[in-house]
Amino acid sequence: MNIHRCRFVDYTPHSITSLKFSSPSTTEIAPRDLRLAVGRSNGDIEIWNPRWSWIHEMTLKGGRGRSIEGLAWSTSEEGALRLFSIGGSTSITEWNLKTGLPLANHDCNSGVIWSLSASDDGTKLAVGCDNGSVVIVDVSGGPGVMEHLKILQPNNARVMCVTWKGKDQVVGGCSDARIRVWSTKSENNGRIVHTMKVDKAQKEDTLVWSVQVLKKSKQIISGDSTGSVKFWDGNNFSLLQSFKVHEADVLCLASDMRGETIFSAGVDRKVVCYKMIDSKLKRWANVSNRLLHAQDIRAMASFEAKGASFLVSGGVERTLVINSVKEFNDGMFRKIPITRHRPCVSVAAEPRLVMMWSDQAVKIWKIDQYVEPDEENEENKGKRLVAKITLANEENITHAALSKSGSLLAVATLAETKIFNLSADENDSLNVDKSEDDCMALANEGAVLTRFTPDEKSLILINPGSEAIVYNLESRELDELELPDPDSIKIRSKLGFAKNVVQLALSDDGTRLATARLCGSIDIFDFKKMKHLGTITRVNSPPTALKFTSDNTLVLVTAEIKVLEFNLDKMGLTEWSKRNSDLLPQELISLVDKCCGIFYDPSSSKRIWLWGANWLCFVDLSVNIATERVPKRKLDKLGVPIDKEQMPDRQNLKRQLDLTRSQANGSASSTSTKPFWITHKYRPMLIADSFGEGELVVVERPPFHIPLPPAFWSNHKIRM
The whole-angstrom separation of Cα 375 and Cα 255 is 53
Answer whether the bond into residue 684 is a cis peptide, omega within 30°: yes
Any residues with CB less than 8 A from the CB of 217 and at least 6 apart, and which? 234, 259, 260, 276, 279, 282
CB 233 within 8 A of CB 214: no
Q: Look up the CATH architecture of domain 70-197.
A: 7 Propeller (2.130)
SS3 string of 547-597? EECCCCEEEEEECCCCEEEEECCCCEECHHHHHHCCCCEHHHHCCCCCEEE
Going by C-alpha positions, the residue among 276, 402, 305 that lies closest to residue 346 is: 402
Q: What's the pTM?
A: 0.92
The whole-angstrom separation of Cα 686 and Cα 613 is 7
CB atoms within 10 A of CB 622: 11
Name the β-bridge partners of 601: 604
Q: For residue 353, with 0-12 CB atoms within 10 Å meaning exposed, 13-18 middle and 19 or more buried, which class applies?
A: buried
Residues of the chain with CATH 2.130.10.10: 70-197, 210-336
Q: What pLDDT score was predicted for residue 653?
A: 47
Q: What pLDDT score was predicted for residue 373?
A: 58
Q: What pLDDT score was predicted for residue 710?
A: 84
Q: What pLDDT score was predicted for residue 627?
A: 65
Residue 218 gets which letter from DSSP? T
The whole-angstrom separation of Cα 347 and Cα 699 is 10
Please work out, in degrees rounded to the nearest 5, the angle formed at the alpha carbon of residue 665 by the alpha carbons of 659 and 666.
Answer: 85
Name the β-bridge partners of 197: 178
CB 143 within 8 A of CB 133: no
The whole-angstrom separation of Cα 217 and Cα 281 is 10
Q: For residue 95, with 0-12 CB atoms within 10 Å meaning exposed, 13-18 middle and 19 or more buried, which class applies?
A: buried
Please work out, in degrees rounded to the nearest 5, the angle formed at the alpha carbon of residue 513 by the alpha carbons of 510 and 517.
Answer: 155
Burial profile 287-321: b = 16 or more Cβ within 10 angstroms, e = fewer: eebbebbbbbbbbbbbbbbeebbbbbbbbbbbbbb
CB 339 within 8 A of CB 685: yes
Q: What are phi and psi of 34, to 5 degrees?
A: -65, 130
Q: Judge: domain 210-336, CATH 2.130.10.10.
A: yes
Per-block mean pLDDT, blocks of 10 residues, the chain (720 long): 90 97 95 96 97 96 94 91 95 97 95 96 96 96 95 95 96 97 90 94 89 95 97 95 95 96 96 95 95 95 96 96 95 94 95 96 90 54 90 96 97 97 88 94 96 97 97 96 87 90 96 96 96 94 96 95 95 95 92 96 88 96 73 43 44 50 47 80 95 91 89 57
The whole-angstrom separation of Cα 94 and Cα 92 is 7
Q: For residue 648, with 0-12 CB atoms within 10 Å meaning exposed, 13-18 middle and 19 or more buried, which class applies?
A: exposed
Q: What are phi and psi of 24, to 5 degrees?
A: -75, 165
Residue 185 gets which letter from DSSP? -
10, 298, 312, 337, 584 from 293: Cα distances, Å: 22, 11, 12, 13, 35
The whole-angstrom separation of Cα 366 and Cα 508 is 23
Please work out, in degrees rounded to the nearest 5, the angle formed at the alpha carbon of residue 282 by the alpha carbons of 276 and 286.
Answer: 35
The whole-angstrom separation of Cα 45 and Cα 38 is 5
Kindly give the pairing relationship between strand 2-6 and strand 695-700: parallel
Q: What pLDDT score was predicted for residue 673?
A: 63
Going by C-alpha positions, the residue among 459, 418, 412, 422 that lies closest to residue 436 is: 418
Going by C-alpha positions, the residue among 129, 97, 64, 720 that lies closest to residue 395 is: 64
Element (H, E) at 488: none
